[in-house]
Amino acid sequence: MKIRAAISRSGEAAPVIEEAELGPPRSDEILVRIVAAGICHTDVRAHRGGAVPTPHPVVLGHEGAGVVEAAGSGVMHLKAGDHVVLSGSSCGTCPSCRENYPSYCREVIPRSFGGSRMDGSSALSQGGAPLHGHFFGQSSFATYAIADARGAVRVSKEIPLEIAAPLGCGVLTGAGAVLYTFGLKAGQSLVVFGSGSVGLSAIMAARLAGAQQVIAVDPLPQRRALALELGATAALDAASENLVDAIRAVLPGGADFALNTTIVPQVYEASLRVLGMRGVAAFVSAPREPFTTSLQTLLHGGRSLRGLIGGDAAPQVAIPMLLYFWQQGRFPMDRLITSFEFSAIGAAFEALHHARVIKPVLRMGAP
Ligand SMILES: [Zn+2]
Ligand SMILES: [Zn+2]
């Protein structure tokens, strides 16, 4: 079928919307009419190439939400007409998949970044030439997508898909870090470095879980103000001198948990130095350049440092739960979103890259 898709080509500033061809779903796939798709920094990096080695030309997008048009013969949990949020792609049979940690599937790298299905084929083509796709099992910067059914989560039709879309990656990562990776309990404390969509989602989840103190650290005053509205109990300027001392002044015994959503090397170090005894620091992206640290901080105090993908969450459980909290007004993730028409994808990429918006969401059309 003919679709409109935003195609990333090497050297271009942003993806360009063009006509493309989309093949039918296989037995474990669904055809989805995309209604909305969030843009994540991983899309921006994959578009630019380099750090995220997805082959070009490619259709990116991994926070898609839409309506199922057709389901493959092997898909049991979805049917035409269902509203879905698309998360990542996973094999379903490896140890992590069996334990419901699909973001640690042993095939997660080729399934997310390989630019094709695992057999090398692509549902996308253009003028007879193959086009890379299946980015995170979806490639949702398009009017229609062939998605990996395992990663598609059915959601209530009462929930606007534009609100639900970012749950596929960014919001789930931040909230999941608090609820699953840290397992934060009432009365505990958290420091969040960076108040973008991941950091603010962590802050909202910390309030939900009953955190006593939540310190937001960000260089932008408007983001610190939003962090305070969404549940932070203190907000500090990332540029302040002696930032670690300033955090320690608020939390003299150190924090139970620290979440680093940045790629700034010094922040990885700071996230360890603010921890209390047995504290856990986690990060969601690799540092932009390597850094060195003394492991003394980890040894004395039994602290740990964790990398995490997808917030350690099981999307089929966590996404409906967070949407339920959103409906109750207890997880106001709509506050993070700025909408853009699909045709304005270039402006949306720019706005995200320059931190003018927190979570841009493209609107492909009404459900
Ligand atoms: Zn992402
Ligand atoms: Zn797997």
Q: Which residues contact 181 (CB under 8 A, 6 or more apart)?
A: 280, 282, 306, 308, 311, 312
Q: How many residues are listed for the chain in this entry?
A: 367
Q: Which residues contact 184 (CB under 8 A, 6 or more apart)?
A: 178, 190, 205, 206, 209, 210, 211, 256, 257
Q: How far is the CA of 100 from the centre of ligand 2 (A)?
A: 9
For the chain, helix, strand, coil in percent to 5 are 35, 25, 40
What Cα–Cα distance (Å) separates residue 295 from each residue in 233, 272, 301?
30, 10, 11
> What ranges do the domains of the chain cover?
2-168+332-363, 174-308
Q: How far is the CA of 93 from the centre of ligand 2 (A)?
A: 5
Strands (E), the chain: 2-8, 16-22, 29-38, 58-59, 64-71, 83-86, 124-126, 129-130, 144-148, 152-155, 189-193, 213-218, 234-237, 255-260, 275-283, 304-307, 337-341, 359-363
Q: Which residues contact 98 (CB under 8 A, 6 or more apart)?
A: none
Q: What is the CA radius of gyration of the chain?
A: 20
Q: How far is the CA of 130 from the centre of ligand 1 (A)?
A: 25
Question: pLDDT (tens digit, 0 to 9) for every residue of the chain, 367 residues total?
Answer: 999 999 999 889 999 999 999 999 999 999 999 999 999 999 999 999 877 789 999 999 999 999 999 999 999 999 999 999 999 999 999 999 999 999 999 999 999 999 999 999 999 999 999 999 999 999 999 999 999 999 999 999 999 999 999 998 999 999 999 999 999 999 999 999 999 999 999 999 999 999 999 999 999 999 999 999 999 999 999 999 899 999 999 999 999 999 999 999 999 999 999 999 999 999 999 999 998 888 998 999 999 999 999 999 999 999 999 999 999 999 999 999 999 999 999 999 999 999 999 999 999 976 5
Distance CA 3, CA 124 (A): 10
Q: How far is the CA of 62 from the centre of ligand 1 (A)?
A: 6
Q: How far is the CA of 242 from the centre of ligand 2 (A)?
A: 43
Q: What is the pLDDT of residue 365?
A: 77
Residue 38 near residue 161 (C-beta atoms within 8 A): no
| Residue 213 CA, distance from chain mean position | 24
Q: How far is the CA of 77 from the centre of ligand 2 (A)?
A: 18
Q: How far is the CA of 284 from the centre of ligand 1 (A)?
A: 10
Q: How far is the CA of 11 from the centre of ligand 1 (A)?
A: 22
Q: Enter the CATH code of domain 2-168+332-363.
A: 3.90.180.10
Task: Give the closest ligand to the alpha carbon of residue 87.
Answer: 1
| Residue 220 CA, distance from chain mean position | 21
Q: How far is the CA of 38 from the centre of ligand 1 (A)?
A: 9
Q: What is the pLDDT of residue 367?
A: 52
Q: How far is the CA of 90 from the centre of ligand 2 (A)?
A: 5
Q: How far is the CA of 40 from the centre of ligand 1 (A)?
A: 5
Task: Give the closest ligand to the alpha carbon of residue 112.
Answer: 1
Task: Give the closest ligand to the alpha carbon of residue 92.
Answer: 2
Q: What is the pLDDT of residue 366?
A: 62
Task: Give the closest ligand to the alpha carbon of residue 91.
Answer: 2
Distance CA 220, CA 227 (A): 11
Q: How far is the CA of 178 from the centre of ligand 1 (A)?
A: 17
Return the bridge partners of 8, or none.
58
Residue type, 187: G
Task: Give the closest ligand to the alpha carbon of residue 94.
Answer: 2
Q: How far is the CA of 181 from the centre of ligand 1 (A)?
A: 17
Q: How far is the CA of 18 from the centre of ligand 2 (A)?
A: 33
Q: How far is the CA of 243 from the centre of ligand 1 (A)?
A: 28
Fold designation for 174-308: Rossmann fold (3.40.50)
Edge-to-edge strands, sheet with 304-307: 234-237, 213-218, 189-193, 255-260, 275-283, 304-307
Distance CA 63, CA 361 (A): 9
Q: How far is the CA of 294 from the centre of ligand 1 (A)?
A: 30
Distance CA 160, CA 269 (A): 40
Q: How far is the CA of 328 from the centre of ligand 1 (A)?
A: 25
327, two tokens: 């409906």
Q: What is the pLDDT of residue 358?
A: 97
Q: How far is the CA of 302 from the centre of ligand 1 (A)?
A: 31
What Cα–Cα distance (Å) separates residue 240 from each residue in 35, 203, 219, 276?
42, 21, 9, 21
Q: How far is the CA of 352 from the centre of ligand 1 (A)?
A: 13
